[in-house]
């Protein structure tokens, strides 16, 4: 059934056609402001926010459009949500090469082939409506059912490191929960992210869904992010980015799901299969040039097997740097700001052969990693450096290794891994490293499910706020409905 439209004259005297749904939202806003004792004007942007398949020039317009879409989205059932998110999955597979090339071109980070793999992981393994099965209890007092209800409009910050995979995974997960979405993308990837949102809205409306289930601002800024954070229409914030943006989001009096920093350590003990450890670490740490927060950032190896492990790393095609070269590269790539070592943007996610050129070393583009020995206090160990240059630290024994891993991880409680054949050691490591993701005898990449691991996959690993690897229930509220009276049928 088509929406009825009425003629409305805004504050500037402009004639605007608006639907019944849009009029209802405006009336609700006017009534609320009157009840709150506020003066009332209807801005033309609120009533005439057109956008370009979800992309708006003004953040306020993007939020209003998402709210209007939410009012319509509530008329659809969970099977409809699955249909809409399935079409996003199919679109992701159709456009994976184009999105991946655009990501590398715009951000200068990572490898196209690995970004394609990330899109495939999202399309195949991002969690959906299957996580929203209700729970029930019945007995002499009646029947109680708990359902998962949407928050409403969720405000999202997306990162530059995985711009389209993170956005697409959040779209699938949050739309599955019945929410609509507003994005303030990272400025470096704004053109790609706007294109992704347009493609999503096009495929959703073609499948019979409402327009503008996903929106964004065309020119994202700190100011547009702040407007989104504090806007009363935004019910929940989902933030995937650096510590500064997470801190900014948490200053507001609304719930936040935040993916924070990680500095994943690896411990290799004297019982480990060293060839396996070197192979797994190389595959995982080199994936997309180490820009995943889940990827190994430093390796601690028990002294008795240290030299043999380093040989195994070379056998995997990695290039070994001497200590002075590790120092030299750190001096170029890392900067101490306050108490924290930060990686220079020109070095994040670059190929190993690009990093080696700064040292005057010419390598093949196929070299996965640079690696070299450092001490435990070296900037390469302390920083979450997101490059395919991995420090390796000698430790006296397993206990010394645990102690150094805990310190290097900075209590982010994000990700860690251990290679050992002694399960008592694996247990001790797991208890000491209280991370959301912990992998035993495998690369940390396996810990996030998908094609290389088990379980569902997510780009939002919410360590600061406690959700861990997120799924649709994290973006829903629980509601209990109690029907009084005996409801047992057997």
Span 248-291, pLDDT tens digits = 888 888 999 998 889 999 999 999 999 999 999 999 999 999 99
Burial letters for 409-419: b for 16+ Cβ neighbours within 10 Å, e otherwise?
beebbbbbbbb
In this prediction, residue 39 carries a pLDDT of: 41
Q: In what order do the strands lie in the sheet containing 234-240?
A: 55-56, 214-217, 180-184, 153-157, 234-240, 256-259
In this prediction, residue 337 carries a pLDDT of: 84
pLDDT at 407 over 90: yes
Kindly report the backbone phi and psi dihedral angles of residue 221, in degrees, each rounded to the nearest multiple of 5, phi listed first.
Answer: -140, 175
Concatenated DSSP letters of 97-162: HHHHHHHHHHH--S-HHHHHHHHHHHHHHB--GGGG--EEEEETTEEEEEEEEE-SEEEEE--SSS
* Partners of residue 153 on adjacent β-strands: 180, 234
Helices (H), 390-484: 398-409, 423-432
How far is residue 152's CA from residue 284's CA, in Å, rounded to a whole number?
Answer: 37
Mean pLDDT score, 396-422: 97
Q: Calculate what percentage of the chain has a pLDDT beyond 70.
A: 90
How far is residue 249's CA from residue 454's CA, in Å, rounded to a whole number?
Answer: 32
With bands split at pLDDT 50, 70 and 90, how would you rate the model's confidence at 59? Answer: very high
Structure tokens belonging to residue 170? 């959040």
In this prediction, residue 38 carries a pLDDT of: 47
In this prediction, residue 450 carries a pLDDT of: 86
Strand pairing of 370-373 and 389-395? parallel
DSSP designation for 209: P
In this prediction, residue 20 carries a pLDDT of: 47
State which H helix or E strand residue 258 sits in. Answer: strand 256-259
CA gyration radius for the chain?
25
How far is residue 69's CA from residue 57's CA, in Å, rounded to a whole number?
Answer: 18
How far is residue 156's CA from residue 168's CA, in Å, rounded to a whole number?
Answer: 12
pLDDT at 380 over 90: yes
Identify which has the larger pLDDT, 225 or 253. 225
With bands split at pLDDT 50, 70 and 90, how would you rate the model's confidence at 232? Answer: very high
Its CATH architecture, for the domain 55-260+470-480, is 3-Layer(aba) Sandwich (3.40)
In this prediction, residue 46 carries a pLDDT of: 36
Burial letters for 170-206: b for 16+ Cβ neighbours within 10 Å, e otherwise?
bbbbbbbbbbbbbbbbbebbbebbbbbbbbbbebbbe
In this prediction, residue 25 carries a pLDDT of: 47
Pick the range with the lowest mean pLDDT from 19-33, 280-294, 402-416: 19-33
pLDDT at 44 over 90: no
pLDDT at 396 over 50: yes
Its CATH architecture, for the domain 265-455, is 3-Layer(aba) Sandwich (3.40)
What's this model's pTM, rounded to 2 decimal places? 0.86
With bands split at pLDDT 50, 70 and 90, how would you rate the model's confidence at 486? Answer: confident
pLDDT at 28 over 80: no
Mean pLDDT score, 350-367: 96
Mean pLDDT score, 371-382: 97
Mean of all residue pLDDT scores within the chain: 90
With bands split at pLDDT 50, 70 and 90, how would you rate the model's confidence at 338? Answer: confident
Identify which has the larger pLDDT, 487 or 34. 487
Closest C-alpha to 216, from 362, 98, 333, 59: 59
In this prediction, residue 245 carries a pLDDT of: 84
Mean pLDDT score, 67-86: 97
pLDDT at 4 over 80: no
Identify which has the larger pLDDT, 464 or 154. 154
- The model's pLDDT over 127-186, given as tens digits with 9 standing for 90+, comes to 999 999 999 999 999 999 999 999 999 999 999 999 999 999 999 999 999 999 999 999
In this prediction, residue 43 carries a pLDDT of: 37
In this prediction, residue 334 carries a pLDDT of: 94
Longest dimension (CA), the chain: 81
| Domain boundaries along the sequence of the chain | 5-47, 55-260+470-480, 265-455
In this prediction, residue 129 carries a pLDDT of: 97
pLDDT at 36 over 70: no
Identical fold between 55-260+470-480 and 265-455: no
How far is residue 57's CA from residue 48's CA, in Å, rounded to a whole number?
Answer: 12
In this prediction, residue 32 carries a pLDDT of: 45
Closest C-alpha to 449, from 458, 441, 457: 457
Helices (H), 163-318: 163-176, 190-206, 222-230, 243-250, 274-285, 306-315
How far is residue 385's CA from residue 368's CA, in Å, rounded to a whole number?
Answer: 16
Closest C-alpha to 241, from 195, 293, 164, 196: 293
- Kindly give, in sequence order, each residue whose CB lies less than 8 Å from that of residue 283, ignoring residues fewer than 6 positions away: 368, 443, 445
pLDDT at 24 over 70: no
How far is residue 461's CA from residue 262's CA, in Å, rounded to a whole number?
Answer: 10
């Amino acid at each position: 059934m088509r929406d009825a439209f009425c003629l409305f004259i805004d504050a500037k005297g402009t004639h605007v056609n608006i639907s019944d749904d849009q009029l209802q939202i405006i009336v609700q806003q006017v009534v609320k402001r009157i009840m709150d004792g506020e003066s009332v004007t209807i801005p033309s942007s609120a009533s005439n926010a057109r956008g370009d398949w979800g992309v708006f020039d003004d953040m306020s317009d993007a939020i209003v459009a998402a709210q209007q879409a939410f009012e319509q989205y509530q008329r659809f059932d969970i099977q409809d949500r699955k249909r809409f998110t399935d079409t996003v999955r199919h679109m992701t597979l159709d456009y994976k090469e184009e999105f991946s090339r655009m990501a590398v071109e715009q951000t200068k980070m990572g490898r196209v082939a690995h970004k394609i793999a990330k899109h495939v992981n999202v399309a195949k393994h991002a969690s959906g409506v299957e996580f929203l099965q209700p729970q029930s209890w019945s007995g002499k007092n009646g029947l109680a059912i708990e359902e998962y209800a949407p928050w409403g409009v969720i405000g999202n910050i997306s990162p530059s490191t995985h711009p389209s995979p993170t956005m697409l995974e959040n779209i699938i997960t949050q739309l599955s929960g019945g929410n609509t979405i507003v994005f303030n993308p990272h400025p470096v990837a704004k053109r790609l992210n706007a294109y992704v949102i347009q493609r999503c809205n096009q495929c959703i409306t073609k499948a019979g869904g409402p327009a503008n289930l996903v929106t964004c601002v065309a020119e994202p800024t700190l100011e547009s992010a702040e407007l989104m954070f504090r806007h009363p229409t935004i019910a929940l914030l989902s933030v995937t980015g650096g510590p500064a943006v997470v801190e900014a989001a948490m200053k507001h009096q609304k719930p936040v799901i935040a993916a924070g920093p990680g500095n994943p350590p690896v411990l290799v003990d004297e019982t480990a299969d060293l060839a396996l450890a070197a192979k797994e670490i190389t595959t995982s740490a080199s994936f997309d040039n180490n820009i995943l927060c889940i990827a190994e950032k430093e390796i601690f190896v028990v002294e008795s097997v240290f030299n043999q492990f380093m040989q195994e790393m070379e056998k995997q095609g990695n290039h070994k740097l001497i200590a002075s070269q590790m120092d030299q590269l750190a001096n170029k790539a890392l900067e101490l700001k306050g108490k924290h070592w930060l990686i220079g943007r020109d070095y994040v996610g670059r190929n190993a052969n690009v990093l080696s050129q700064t040292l005057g070393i010419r390598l093949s583009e196929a070299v996965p990693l640079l690696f070299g020995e450092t001490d435990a206090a070296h900037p390469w160990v302390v920083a979450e450096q997101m490059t395919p240059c991995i420090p390796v630290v000698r430790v006296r024994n397993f206990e010394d290794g645990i102690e150094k891993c805990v310190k290097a991880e900075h209590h982010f409680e994000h990700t860690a891994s251990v290679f050992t054949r002694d399960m008592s050691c694996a247990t001790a490591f797991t208890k000491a490293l209280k991370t959301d993701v912990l992998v035993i005898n495998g690369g940390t990449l396996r810990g996030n499910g998908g094609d290389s691991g088990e379980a569902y996959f997510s780009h939002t690993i919410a360590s600061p706020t406690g959700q861990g690897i997120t799924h649709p229930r994290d973006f829903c509220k629980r509601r209990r409905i109690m029907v009084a009276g005996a409801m047992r049928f057997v």
